[in-house]
């Protein structure tokens, strides 16, 4: 297990997942502006310490109910999708206004699980989020409920947040809930429930402790949070389940308020590189020169100028093998160009890419973070 200090301030990249019940409450679809203002302050404080922060926020359906005057407790799938479309506008603007008060820029991203699981879309989404963070902007992510189906019913934003954490190499994922952590049984119905402060490994016994989804409009419960913790911790990301009902809930974590920490099983870089090298089937081969080989062994990215030959048919984001001129495998990585474009820019300087392709692509053919070099 990867043991780290149990404070958000000890991490560099934090994802905060917020459920609809925290934003609107159980009995109303009106956004709680005071709560938003308080968490925006917490996020501002984290950012002032140099911590990159990403928000995954539910709530579009709840807000859309009010917009479309959908008073029925039970909505059809089509009504939920319509409510999501109508409510997402107000939801994002609420986050935008709350964070703007602390001079923080925001950007909206709508994802589905496919965007994190299909390699090409995974790479596109990852690059977009990474660029926003480099531009000192907070991404506000929600599931694209307008086109999703089962995900709306099963509260998949917990799992989506975990997939995003895995995709971008986050250090910690905070799942804010209406409960302060994991218990042996649901403490709301069993006074003898025991609080679990730390989980080093998610075993069947831990899974059995999860209860059912909570009441009201929030469809996510402890079950999905445990599932999210499994995804994230295997990807090298620690997970915190904490009480989000009070104001300044992020600050409360660092001040020692009760919460449950799930320890990561590896660091994010190691987990991602294990995924690249051990799971993905390569679809092509890049043959590189001796100068590029030295650069890769020094931890550098692979530039087009160092590539002598491209073979195979592949899309952007696919895995390819890297070999030297003697046909010795050096490693593998996720390529930033299709095979057609890679063949056009191979051997050329990065400043020539736009002229050769007609668009400005990435400087690297394979970025060092998307590469595993055999030792």
Same-domain pairing of 222 and 357: no
Same-domain pairing of 124 and 228: yes
Task: Pinpoint the alpha helices (H) of 101-196.
Answer: 113-117, 119-134, 150-154, 157-168
3 assigned to some structural domain: no
Cβ neighbour number for residue 375 with a 10 Å cutoff: 5
- What CA–CA distances, in Å, run from 14 to 61, 168, 182, 227? 25, 10, 20, 19
247 assigned to some structural domain: yes
Residue 125, Cα to own-chain centre: how many angstroms? 10
Q: What is the rounded average pLDDT for all residues in the chain?
A: 88
Query: Residue 246: which domain range?
Result: 8-272
Same-domain pairing of 267 and 304: no
- What CA–CA distances, in Å, run from 344 to 4, 56, 337? 46, 39, 10
Same-domain pairing of 237 and 328: no
Same-domain pairing of 267 and 289: no
Rg (CA), the chain: 22
Percentage of the chain surpassing pLDDT 70? 91
* Adjacent-strand bridge partners of 120: none
* CA gap 367, 365 in Å, rounded: 7
1 assigned to some structural domain: no
Cβ neighbour number for residue 6 with a 10 Å cutoff: 17
The pLDDT tens digits of the residues spanning 138-195 come to: 999 998 888 766 544 435 689 889 989 988 999 999 999 888 999 998 888 888 889 9
What per-residue string of b and e applies to 139-163 under the rule 16 or more CB within 10 Å gives b?
Answer: bbbbbbbbebeebbebbbbbbbbbb
Q: 118 or 210: which carries more pLDDT confidence?
A: 210
Cβ neighbour number for residue 249 with a 10 Å cutoff: 24
* CA gap 112, 364 in Å, rounded: 27
Is the overall model pTM greater than 0.75, yes or no?
yes
Q: For 215, phi and psi rounded to 5 degrees?
A: -75, 175
Same-domain pairing of 15 and 143: yes
């Amino acid at each position: 297990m990867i043991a780290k200090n149990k404070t958000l301030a000890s991490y560099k990249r934090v994802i905060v997942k917020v459920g609809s019940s925290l934003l609107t409450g159980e009995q109303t679809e009106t956004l709680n502006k005071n709560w938003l203002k308080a968490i925006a302050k917490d996020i501002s404080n984290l950012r002032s310490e140099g911590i990159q922060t990403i928000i995954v926020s539910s709530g579009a359906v709840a807000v859309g109910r009010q917009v479309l005057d959908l008073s029925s407790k039970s909505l059809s799938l089509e009504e939920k999708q319509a409510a999501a479309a109508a409510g997402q506008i107000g939801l994002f603007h609420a986050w935008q206004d709350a964070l703007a008060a602390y001079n923080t820029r925001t950007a909206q991203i709508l994802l589905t699980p496919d965007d994190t699981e299909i390699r090409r879309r995974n790479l596109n989404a990852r690059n977009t989020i990474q660029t926003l963070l480099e531009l000192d902007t907070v991404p506000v992510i929600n599931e694209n409920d307008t086109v999703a189906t089962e995900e709306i019913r099963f509260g998949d934003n917990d799992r989506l947040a975990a997939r995003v954490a895995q995709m971008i190499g986050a250090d910690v994922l905070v799942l804010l809930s209406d409960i302060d952590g994991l218990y042996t049984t649901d403490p709301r119905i069993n006074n003898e429930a025991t609080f679990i402060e730390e989980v080093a490994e998610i075993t069947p016994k831990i899974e059995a402790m999860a209860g059912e989804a909570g009441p009201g409009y929030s469809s996510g419960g402890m079950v999905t949070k445990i599932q999210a913790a499994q995804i994230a911790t295997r990807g090298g990301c620690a997970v915190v389940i904490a009480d989000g009902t009070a104001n300044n809930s992020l600050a409360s974590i660092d001040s020692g308020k009760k919460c449950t920490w799930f320890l990561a099983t590896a660091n994010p870089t190691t987990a991602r590189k294990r995924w690249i090298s051990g799971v993905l089937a390569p679809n092509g081969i890049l043959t590189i020169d001796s100068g590029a080989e030295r650069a890769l062994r020094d931890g550098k990215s692979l530039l087009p100028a160092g590539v002598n030959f491209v073979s195979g048919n592949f899309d952007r984001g696919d895995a390819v093998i890297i070999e030297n001129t003697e046909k010795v495998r050096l490693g593998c990585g996720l390529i930033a160009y299709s095979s057609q474009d890679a063949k056009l820019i191979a051997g050329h300087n990065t400043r020539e890419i736009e002229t050769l392709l007609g668009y400005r692509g990435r400087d690297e053919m394979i970025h060092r973070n998307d590469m595993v070099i055999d030792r």
